[in-house]
């Protein structure tokens, strides 16, 4: 009897996390460390369950999701349009490119104090931060994707008389699609990361970030950890969905790989 | 009694891989002696196991039945008594030409190293290129650097794995002359794997013809004629016809051409 | 050479690039002149410039920049070297990769900022907490890019190393690292970029020094010019760091025009 390679791989990759949990449970229950600093896995599961039984926790999650989706959508659509413009027109690139590249150097978090002063502690600055986070990667990847469309495709298009919108829809966008979807996937990750900044630095009543902050204020580490797990898991699910969508969209994948 | 170093013997050698639980025989009962100082070619179509055979001689393949011996000693792994020129020049792109040639001379002091590098770059006709990077060289030049790197180690045996396979036809013929010159100068054993019939006839004292599935030796042809050889001579043509016959490519039906 | 020079500094293109900044500046000045917004929300460009000069002269700016740069450096050193070492280990050893890979992937799902409250609970809002937080930001790009570079070393180079008997340190320093270098340098660049980003995050959580501190103070005292000055400084430093890193990358990877070499 031999253990299959898959099982072996699974066992191999679960050893370290398993060891960590065991050590963790041991240290936590030994009493060396105060439980508000290091709650046992047991406590965390309990907190997790009580949290999810409450209806309120769902409201926090919903608030975060809504924020991210709005910012992500606005950022993606505007980033795609802007990237398309700069990708198609060298003049547009020369006009907007340098300014875009300089502004992009400013860490997004740095804008927070300024936009709070402008718009107050409201939903708008939160959405702005998330939008900007999504805007950059989509712009960059759309632009790069279009610039990397092989010039042979353009030659082919001119032979068959493809021009204007038809050229963009039938040739440019499909050829740049892998790069564009990469940008969108990155954008989702960035939005999700900046959601945390938006909720931690721009106080709000509802949001997963708010819950994590609450845990910190109440010296309740279990609450903090449950929040962290929630954020990580939701981020993972959303990224997976977008990645799968991107895969489904890229029909010519196999051919592209070979060339 | 002085023994000429650089004799390589293959005795009763067989090798098979397991593919989907079925053994696939790559080499079957190979027996060859490569005399010291000879130029021997192994000729065969792709898939006949000739490259596997070369890798066994090099010491990169170690699981097989039978014996591979150098000067009577079993090959345990790669060693400095054998040099190798791969089909892709395999120069390290982050090293200069000079550093690439010195790659196997790491243990020597700086002065000796430089002496050997200069000597071998001169030998392959690339003096003055030691500061260039591989990316700046043409395919033929890169392959000459690879040859210099192999020779700088002063091997008893130089193994050549389709060394000119990636070059264009004219460069290739030129490099064949160069190889002959180097062989005559170094007076070492050279063993070359190739699928180019003309190349094998032009360079070899002995041609080993292999056929595939499983890889076996079909025929060994000795070529005693003087050098440099005339590719247009009747003797050359005769040997070529003999070899092509082995591959069932000879003109068995000469009248077929007349139709 | 001279042609390249001309292309890079094409005057017309440079001028085109000035259109947007000048337009923004004009709009800004116009809005101020027309009193569209309160002085509390928008100061004239000139005032902002004066504020920057003033902060610079008083030494406030320099000392705070030093503190911030120091934090970024320490955070990058800590997180980057951890990422580098683990990345090399995972790239070379399937066992280490199987043991650590999934764990790192799971941890990576958590946005870096979400760790901050936890770090503060553990260490308090002190210097170590900030550096640790920056290190988390620096860690991920370094470990992934190093791993990718090292695990992607072509089999042919491994073979070459065996033929020429390269082992352990020599193998690592002469073959593995140079081969993985483009990827590793990308890792360094991203890593330092993120360190810079998370520095601002770390400082906004509360600190008594640093460029972020300047901005918090500005906000609390309703000095929008100070907040904007901080933003300009952060952006400029980010730009400088990024430019230097790009030059560094070009310098290190010089000669590698086509990475796979000529033939093949």
Q: What is the per-residue pLDDT for C260?
A: 40
Closest CA to A231 of A205, A199, A204, A201: A199
CA angle B27–B31–B37, rounded 5-degree value: 115
In chain A, residues with a C-beta closer than 8 Å to the C-beta of C102 are 13-14, 17
Kindly state the average pLDDT of the residues A146-172.
Answer: 81
Asked whether C21 and A95 are in contact (CB, 8 A), the reply is: no
The reported pLDDT for the residue numbered A257 is: 41
Interface check A219 vs C, CB under 8 A: yes
pLDDT in the model for residue B80:
83
User: pLDDT value at position A241?
Assistant: 92
The confidence score (pLDDT) of residue C256 equals 67
Q: Which residues share a beta bridge with B13?
A: B30
Q: What is the pLDDT of residue B252?
A: 52
Residue C122 has pLDDT above 90, yes or no: no
Q: Which two tokens stand for residue B44?
A: 């065969």
- Count of pairs with CB atoms under 8 A, one residue in A, one in C: 147
Q: Which residue has the higher pLDDT, A160 or C119?
A: C119
Which structure tokens are listed for A131? 């939008």
Nearest by CB to C242, which of A17, A96, A105?
A105
The secondary structure of residue A32, as a DSSP letter, is: S
Give whichever of A25-29, C89-93, C259-263 has the largest mean pLDDT.
Answer: C89-93
As a whole number, the mean pLDDT across chain A is: 86
The per-residue pLDDT for A2 is: 54
Rounded mean pLDDT, B67-73: 88
CATH number at residue A181: 1.10.3720.10
pLDDT tens sequence across B169-227:
888 888 899 899 999 998 899 999 998 999 999 999 999 998 877 888 888 999 888 88
pLDDT digits (tens, 9 = 90+) for A29-78: 777 777 777 788 888 888 888 888 888 888 999 999 999 999 999 999 99
Q: How confident is the model at residue A228 (pLDDT cuts 50, 70, 90)?
A: very high
A86 touches C at CB < 8 Å: no
Number of domains within chain A: 1
Residue B122 CA, chain-centre distance (Å), reads 21
- The winner for highest mean pLDDT among A11-15, A238-242, C38-42, C72-76 is C72-76
Residue B250: predicted pLDDT: 59
Contact B134 C261 (CB under 8 A): yes
**Rounded to an integer, what is the distance from CA C192 to the centroid of its chain?**
3
Q: Cβ neighbours of residue A83 under 8 Å, at least 6 residues apart?
A: A138, A139, A140, A141, A142, A143, A145, A146, A180, A183
Rounded CA-CA distance B76/B58 in Å is 9
pLDDT greater than 50 at residue C250: yes
SS3 of chain B = CCCCCCCEEEEEEEEEEEECCEEEEEEEEEEEEECCCCEEEEECCCCCCHHHHHHHHHCCCCCCEEEEEECCEECCCCCCCEEEECCCCCCCCCCCHHHHHHHHHCCCCHHHHHHHHHHHHHHCCCCCCCCCCHHHCCHHHHHHHHHHHHHHCCCCEEEEECCCCCCCHHHHHHHHHHHHHHHHHHCCEEEEEECCHHHHHHHCCEEEEEECCCEEEEEEEECCCCCCCCCCCHHHHHHHHHHHHHCCCCCCCHHHHHC
pLDDT for res B251: 56
- Domain definitions of chain B by residue range: 1-73+188-259
Compute how many other C-beta atoms are within 10 angstroms of the C-beta atom of residue C183. 20
**How far, CA to CA in Å, does C124 sit from each of A37, A216, C102?**
11, 10, 30
Taking only the tens place, the pLDDT of each residue in C184-230 is 999 999 999 999 999 999 998 888 888 989 898 888 888 889 999 99
More confident residue, C41 or B251: C41
Q: Does B106 touch chain C (CB under 8 A)?
A: yes
More confident position, C45 or A151: C45
Which residues, at least 6 apart from A256, have a Cβ–Cβ distance to it below 8 Å?
A: A178, A250
Q: Please list every residue in chain C whose beta carbon sits closer than 8 Å to the beta carbon of residue B79.
A: 165
Statement: residue C261 has pLDDT above 50: no
Please tell me which residue of chain A has the smallest CA distance to C37.
A118
* pLDDT at residue A197 tops 70: yes
- Asked if the Cβ–Cβ distance from C204 to A195 is below 8 Å, we say no
Q: What average pLDDT does range C94-109 have in this prediction?
A: 88
- Would you state the structure tokens that stand for residue C158, as one six-digit string? 């491994």
Eight-class DSSP state of A68: H
ipTM: 0.84
Rounded distance between C-alpha atoms, residue A63 and residue C205, angstroms = 22
Q: Which two tokens stand for residue C77?
A: 């050193």
Closest CA to B27 of B9, B54, B59: B54
Q: What is the pLDDT of residue C68?
A: 94
Which of B59, B84, B93 has its CB closest to that of C261?
Answer: B93
- Residues of chain A contacting C213 with CB distance shorter than 8 Å: none
Over chain C, what is the mean pLDDT?
87
Q: Are strands B65-70 and B73-74 parallel, antiparallel or unpaired?
A: antiparallel
Considering only CB atoms, C256 lies closest to which of B94, B143, B167, namely B94
Say if strands B39-43 and B82-85 run parallel, antiparallel, or are unpaired: unpaired
Distance CA C198, CA C134 (A): 5
Q: Are B94 and C163 inside 8 Å of each other by CB?
A: no
Confidence (pLDDT) at C187:
94
CATH number for the segment(s) B1-73+188-259: 3.40.50.300
Note the pLDDT of residue A195. Answer: 95
Q: What is the model's pLDDT at position C196?
A: 92
Contacts of C141 (CB under 8 A, 6+ apart): C83, C187, C190, C191, C194
Interface mutation vs chain C, best among B52, B94, B116, most C CBs within 10 Å: B94
Q: Is the dihedral of CA B219, B220, B224, B228 positive or negative?
A: positive
Structure-token pair, residue C74: 């320490």
CB-based contact B92 C178, cutoff 8 Å = yes
Please state the rounded mean pLDDT for residues A78-104. Answer: 92
Minimal Cα–Cα distance from C10 to chain B, Å?
28
Q: CB neighbours of A171 closer than 8 A, spacing ≥ 6? A: A149, A153, A154, A156, A157, A162
Q: Any idea of the CA torsion for B92, B93, B99, B103, to the nearest 10 degrees?
A: 0
Q: Is A113 close to C16, i.e. CB distance below 8 A?
A: no
pLDDT band at B1 (very low <50, low <70, confident <90, very high): very low
Which candidate, A12, B246, A147, A202, places its Cα nearest to that of C93? A12
* Residue C121 pLDDT greater than 90, yes or no: no
CB-based contact B114:B77 (threshold 8 Å): no
The burial of A196, by beta-carbon neighbours within 10 Å (0-12 exposed, 13-18 middle, 19 or more buried), is given as: buried
CB contact under 8 A, A105 and C215: no
pLDDT at B259: 38
Percent of chain C with pLDDT over 70: 93
Q: Alpha helix locations (H) across chain A?
A: 5-30, 41-53, 55-88, 90-103, 111-119, 123-147, 151-159, 164-167, 173-201, 208-217, 221-249, 253-258
**Which residues in chain B have their CB less than 8 angstroms from residue C259's CB?**
93, 135
Touching C: B residues 163-202, CB under 8 Å: 166-167
Residue A109 DSSP code: G
Q: What is the pLDDT of residue A251?
A: 61
**Is the bond preceding C220 in cis, omega lying within 30 degrees of 0?**
no
Q: Do the chains contact at C196 and A107, CB–CB below 8 Å?
A: yes
Query: What residues contact residue B149 under an 8 Å CB cut-off, 6+ apart?
Result: B91, B100, B101, B103, B104, B120
Average pLDDT, chain B: 86
Q: What confidence score (pLDDT) does residue A255 get? A: 40
The CA dihedral of B173, B179, B180, B183, to the nearest 10 degrees, is -170
Determine the pLDDT at residue B4: 66
What does the alpha-carbon distance between residue A110 and residue A128 come to, in Å, rounded to a whole number?
Answer: 13
Q: For residue range C144-195, what is the model confidence (pLDDT) as tens digits?
A: 999 999 999 998 899 999 888 888 888 999 899 999 999 999 999 999 999 9
Q: With beta carbons less than 8 A apart as the criterion, state whether B51 and B66 touch.
A: no
Tell whether B151 is within 8 A of chain C (Cβ). no
Q: How far apart are CA C127 and CA B219, in angstroms?
A: 78
Query: Look-up: residue for tokens 């073959």?
Result: C175
Range of the domain at A187: 36-258
- For C119, phi and psi rounded to 5 degrees? -60, -40
Q: Do chains A and B touch (3 or more CB pairs under 8 A)?
A: no
User: What pLDDT, on a 0 to 100 scale, did the predictor assign at position C4?
Assistant: 45
Give the distance from residue A166's alpha carbon to the nearest chain C alpha carbon, in angstroms: 29
pLDDT at A200: 92
Distance CA C110, CA C65 (A): 29
Would an 8 Å CB–CB cutoff place B95 in contact with chain C?
Answer: yes
The nearest alpha carbon in chain C to A6 belongs to C98
Q: What is the pLDDT of residue C135?
A: 96
Closest chain C residue by Cα to residue B101: C164
- Any domain includes A156: yes
Protein fold of C44-252: MetI-like fold (1.10.3720)
B7-65 confidence digits (pLDDT tens): 898 999 888 888 777 888 888 888 999 998 899 999 988 777 888 899 999 888 888 88
Q: What angle do CA B19, B24, B28 make, to 5 degrees?
A: 155
Name the least confident of A110-119, C27-36, C227-236: C27-36
Model pLDDT, residue A38 = 79
The per-residue b/e assignment along A76-106, b for 16 or more CB within 10 angstroms, e otherwise, is bebbbebbbbbbbeeeebbbbbbbbebbbbb
Q: Is the pLDDT of residue C3 over 70?
A: no
Comparing A50-54, A80-84, B252-256, C250-254, the range with the smallest average pLDDT is B252-256
Using CB atoms, which chains have 3+ pairs under 8 A with B? Answer: C
Please give the pLDDT value at position C255.
66
Q: Give chain A positions within 8 Å (CB) of C230.
A: 110, 113
At residue C82, the pLDDT reads 97
β-sheet bridge partners, residue B70: B8, B73
Within 10 Å of residue C10's Cβ, how many Cβ atoms?
Answer: 11
Percent of chain A past pLDDT 70, that is, above it, reads: 93
Q: Could you give the CA distance from residue B55 to residue B65 in angstroms, rounded to a whole number?
A: 14
pTM recorded for the entire structure: 0.81
Q: Three-state SS string across A182-208, please?
A: HHHHHHHHHHHHHHHHHHHHCCCCCCH
Q: How far apart, in whole angstroms, are the C-alpha atoms of residue C80 and residue C75?
A: 8
Of C162, C175, C255, the CB nearest to B135: C255
CB B107 within 8 A of CB B99: no
- Cβ of C234 and A37 within 8 Å? no
* pLDDT of amino acid B254: 46
């Amino acid at each position: 009897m031999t253990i299959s390679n898959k099982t072996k791989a699974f066992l191999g990759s679960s050893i370290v996390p398993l060891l960590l949990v065991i050590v963790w449970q041991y240290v936590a229950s030994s009493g060396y460390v105060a439980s508000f600093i290091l709650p046992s896995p047991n406590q965390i599961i309990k907190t997790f369950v009580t949290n999810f039984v409450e209806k309120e926790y769902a409201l926090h999650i919903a608030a975060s999701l809504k924020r991210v989706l709005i910012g992500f959508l606005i950022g993606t659509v505007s980033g795609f349009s802007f990237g398309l413009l700069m990708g198609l027109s060298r003049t547009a690139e020369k006009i907007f490119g340098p300014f875009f590249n300089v502004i992009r150097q400013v860490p997004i978090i740095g804008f927070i104090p300024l936009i709070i002063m402008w718009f107050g502690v409201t939903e708008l600055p939160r959405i702005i931060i998330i939008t900007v986070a999504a805007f950059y990667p989509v712009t960059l990847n759309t632009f790069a994707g279009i610039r990397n469309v092989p010039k042979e495709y353009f030659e082919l298009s001119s032979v068959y008389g493809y021009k204007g919108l038809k050229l963009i829809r039938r040739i440019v966008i499909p050829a740049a699609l892998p790069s564009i979807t990469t940008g969108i996937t990155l954008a989702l990750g960035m939005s999700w990361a900046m959601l945390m900044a938006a909720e931690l630095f721009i106080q709000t009543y509802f949001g997963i970030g708010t819950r994590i902050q609450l845990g910190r204020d109440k010296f309740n580490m279990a609450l903090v950890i449950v929040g962290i797990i929630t954020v990580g898991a939701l981020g993972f699910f959303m990224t997976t969905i977008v990645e799968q969508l991107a895969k489904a969209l890229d029909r010519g994948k196999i051919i592209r790989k070979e060339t | 009694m002085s023994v000429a170093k650089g004799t390589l013997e293959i005795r009763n050698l067989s090798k098979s891989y397991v593919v989907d639980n079925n053994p696939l025989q790559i080499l079957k009962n190979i027996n060859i002696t490569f005399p010291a100082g000879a130029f021997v070619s192994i000729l065969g179509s792709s898939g006949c196991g000739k490259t596997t055979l070369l890798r066994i001689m090099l010491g990169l393949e170690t699981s097989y039945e039978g014996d591979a011996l150098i000067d009577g000693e079993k090959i345990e792994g790669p060693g400095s008594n054998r040099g190798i020129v791969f089909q892709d020049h395999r120069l390290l792109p982050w090293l200069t030409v000079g550093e690439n040639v010195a790659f196997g001379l790491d243990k020597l002091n700086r002065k000796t190293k430089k002496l050997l590098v200069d000597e071998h770059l001169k030998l392959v006709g690339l003096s003055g290129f030691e500061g260039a990077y591989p990316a700046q060289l043409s395919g033929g030049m890169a392959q000459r650097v690879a040859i210099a790197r192999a020779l700088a180690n002063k091997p008893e045996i130089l193994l050549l794995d389709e060394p000119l396979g990636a070059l264009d036809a004219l460069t290739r013929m030129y490099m064949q002359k160069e190889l002959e010159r180097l062989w005559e100068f170094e007076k070492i054993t050279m063993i070359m794997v190739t699928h180019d019939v003309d190349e094998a006839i032009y360079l070899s004292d002995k041609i080993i013809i292999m056929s595939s599935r499983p890889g076996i030796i079909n025929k060994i042809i000795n070529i005693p004629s003087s050098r440099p050889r005339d590719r247009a001579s009747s003797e050359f043509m005769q040997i070529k016809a003999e070899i092509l016959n082995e591959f069932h490519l000879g003109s068995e039906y000469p009248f077929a051409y007349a139709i | 050479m001279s042609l390249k020079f001309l292309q890079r500094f094409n005057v017309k293109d440079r001028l085109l690039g000035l259109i947007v900044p000048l337009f923004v500046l004009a709009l800004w000045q116009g809005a101020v002149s027309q009193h569209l917004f309160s002085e509390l929300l928008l100061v004239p460009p000139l005032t902002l410039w004066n504020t920057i000069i003033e902060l610079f002269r008083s030494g406030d700016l320099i000392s705070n920049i030093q503190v911030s740069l120091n934090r970024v450096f320490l955070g990058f050193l800590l997180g980057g070297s951890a990422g580098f070492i683990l990345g090399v280990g995972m790239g070379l050893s399937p066992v280490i990769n199987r043991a650590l890979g999934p764990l790192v992937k799971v941890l990576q799902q958590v946005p870096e900022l979400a760790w901050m409250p936890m770090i503060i609970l553990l260490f308090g809002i002190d210097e170590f907490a900030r550096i640790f937080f920056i290190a988390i930001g620096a860690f991920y790009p370094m470990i992934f890019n190093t791993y990718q570079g090292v695990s992607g070393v072509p089999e042919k180079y491994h073979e070459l190393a065996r033929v020429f008997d390269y082992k352990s340190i020599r193998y690592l320093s002469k073959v593995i690292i140079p081969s993985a270098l483009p990827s590793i340098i990308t890792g360094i660049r991203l890593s330092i970029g993120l360190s810079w980003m998370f520095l601002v995050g770390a400082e906004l959580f509360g600190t008594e020094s640093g460029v972020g501190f300047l901005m918090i103070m500005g906000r609390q005292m309703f000095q929008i010019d100070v907040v904007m000055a901080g933003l300009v400084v952060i952006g400029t430093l980010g730009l400088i760091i990024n430019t230097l890193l790009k030059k560094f990358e070009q310098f290190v990877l010089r000669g590698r025009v086509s990475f796979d070499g000529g033939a093949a």
